[in-house]
Amino acid sequence: MQMQWSSADLAFRDEVRAFLDAELTADMRRESQLMTSVYAPHDLCMAWQAKLHARGWAAPAWPVEYGGCGWTAAQRYIFASELAAVGAPPLSPMGIGMCGPVLIGHGSPEQKAHYLPRMLTGEHLWCQGYSEPGSGSDLASLQMSAVEDGDHFVCNGHKLWTTHANEANWIFCLVRTSQEAIRQQGITFLLIDMTTPGVEVRPILMLSGEHIQNDVFFTDVRVPRANVVGKVGEGWTVAKYLMEFERGGGVSTPGLKTRLDRIRGMAAREADGGGGHIDKLAGFMSRLNALAIEIEALEAVELQILANMSQGEAPGARSSMMKTVGTELSQRLTEMALEASGAYGALYQAHAARPGGAVPGYPIPHDQGHVGPDHSITVAAKYFNDRAGSIYAGTNEIQRNIIAKAVLGL
């Protein structure tokens, strides 16, 4: 796809580049290149968010009155492209990217005034309490209870696969406030302070070795009724609105394109010991080019959704399409990276990388040396980590069901 930017867009691009040149340090760029997860390490994430917030750029998608940028769809795409091109670390999405839009759309004035500024500064770091044992893709079957007791709810239950619950100080939860014949009814969207007595976090180690996911147990946790977002018993409506932003409210194709270009370079170096004779990899490059075409097709849809969102529209059911296609393309890129790395792709070198969380048993800091070329350090860990992409935020099988019903009318 060839895009023609206006002179104002080009001026904005230059402004972004100047900011990145000044604020994104060499150490930050190097750490970002060594990431093995879709999440940046906590210290790197917070340092970068502080710089973006100081410039007023931490939440490009938010309305200006809540601390957003008021950018056009083109500007948001340019910003994402420039961040991807230089390898800027991603921000944690649970607050600014997910809970923030929900509060803007469904929160009370008091909730917006209290929580949104603290999301921008990073004072509040959020995690998502949705999945439970037996309630993952079938989320409406969730059973964590919240029983009214005066001006509070008393919460009991168990959430799992809770990303960064070990670092977050707030969690937004779906809880069951009543048992109804239709399971989607009787669910409430609740904000819970993680420091409240009765909240316990236990680690879950991922296949890649990282501690990013957690079990969270709630035992008689008292939560103020004022922390309900929307209406009691109507949390499913709020949750569906949030999932539109979780699945398709961002910009993913610039990052996919950047990763694809890096794999081209990896393949060239591996083919000739650093030479660059791509013609030796005709079959591999043909498959990579086919991926590039699919990414450009996704980009066209993503730009249309961005344009609609800049006019105040939510992503809608198309978010399921974006989530499905985006995560499957990402997984295919990790497979191509493994192939391009040759034998070095079989090595797991967490000690030399920057995982999204602690990796028990591996030394820190990550300066212990590594085997093989630099581009091979992260490929194995990224491959393992990205297996979750087609599962989190609702499995891709569930997304296809949503598309069939809401888009195709089947």
Cα four-point dihedral sign 346, 349, 352, 358: positive
Task: Name the nearest CA neighbour of 100 among 195, 225, 229, 221.
Answer: 229
Q: State whether residue 153 is helix, strand or coil.
A: strand
Answer yes or no: are the C-beta atoms of 228 and 155 closer than 8 Å: no
Q: Distance from CA of residue 138 to its chain's centroid?
A: 21
Can you read off the two tokens belonging to residue 405? 């019903």
Q: Which residues of 373-408 are buried (b: 16+ CB within 10 A; e: fewer)?
A: eebbbbbbbbbbbbebbbbbbbbbebbeebbeeeee
Pick the CATH number of 7-104 from 3.40.630.10, 3.40.50.620, 1.10.540.10, 3.40.50.1820: 1.10.540.10
Determine the pLDDT at residue 276: 46
Cα distances (Å, whole numbers) of residue 187 to 131, 216, 231, 246 = 13, 19, 10, 19
Q: State whether residue 148 is helix, strand or coil.
A: strand
Answer yes or no: are the C-beta atoms of 39 and 45 closer than 8 Å: yes
Phi, psi dihedral angles at 397 (to 5 degrees): -65, -40
H or E element, residue 395 = none
Q: Distance from CA of residue 285 to its chain's centroid?
A: 29
Instruction: Give CATH for domain 126-236.
Output: 2.40.110.10
Determine the pLDDT at residue 356: 73
Helix, strand, coil percentages for the chain (3-state, nearest 5): 50, 15, 35
How many residues can be counted in the chain?
A: 410
- The CATH architecture to which 244-407 belongs is Up-down Bundle (1.20)
Cα distances (Å, whole numbers) of residue 275 to 61, 264, 266, 280 = 43, 13, 11, 11
Task: Name the nearest CA neighbour of 146 among 129, 160, 163.
Answer: 129
Catalytic residues: 246
Can you read off the two tokens belonging to residue 215? 């079990």
> Could you say which DSSP state residue 12 is in?
H
Q: State whether residue 184 is helix, strand or coil.
A: coil
pLDDT tens string for the chain (410 positions)?
Answer: 456 788 999 999 999 999 999 999 999 998 888 888 888 889 999 999 999 999 999 999 899 999 999 888 788 889 988 998 898 999 998 999 889 999 999 999 999 999 999 999 999 999 999 999 988 777 889 999 999 999 999 999 999 999 999 999 999 999 999 988 888 899 999 999 999 999 999 999 876 677 889 999 999 999 999 999 999 999 999 988 777 665 545 678 888 898 898 898 888 776 666 544 445 577 888 899 999 999 998 888 887 777 776 666 666 677 778 888 888 899 999 999 888 887 777 777 666 777 777 777 665 555 556 766 777 778 888 888 788 777 777 777 777 887 788 778 87
Q: State whether residue 288 is helix, strand or coil.
A: helix
Answer yes or no: are the C-beta atoms of 64 and 70 closer than 8 Å: yes
H or E element, residue 162 = none
Per DSSP bridges, beta strands 211-224 and 187-193 are unpaired
Per DSSP bridges, beta strands 126-129 and 170-176 are parallel
In sequence order, what DSSP letters do the residues of 359-389 get, joined into one string? Answer: -TTS-SSS-S--SS-GGGTTHHHHHHHHGGG
Determine the pLDDT at residue 313: 66
Domain segments of the chain as ranges: 7-104, 126-236, 244-407
In sequence order, what DSSP letters do the residues of 45-96 get, joined into one string? Answer: HHHHHHHHHHHT-S-TTS-GGGT-----HHHHHHHHHHHHHHTPPPPPHIII
| Residues 229, 100: Cα–Cα separation, whole Å | 12
Can you read off the two tokens belonging to residue 329? 């393309």
| Residues 145, 6: Cα–Cα separation, whole Å | 53
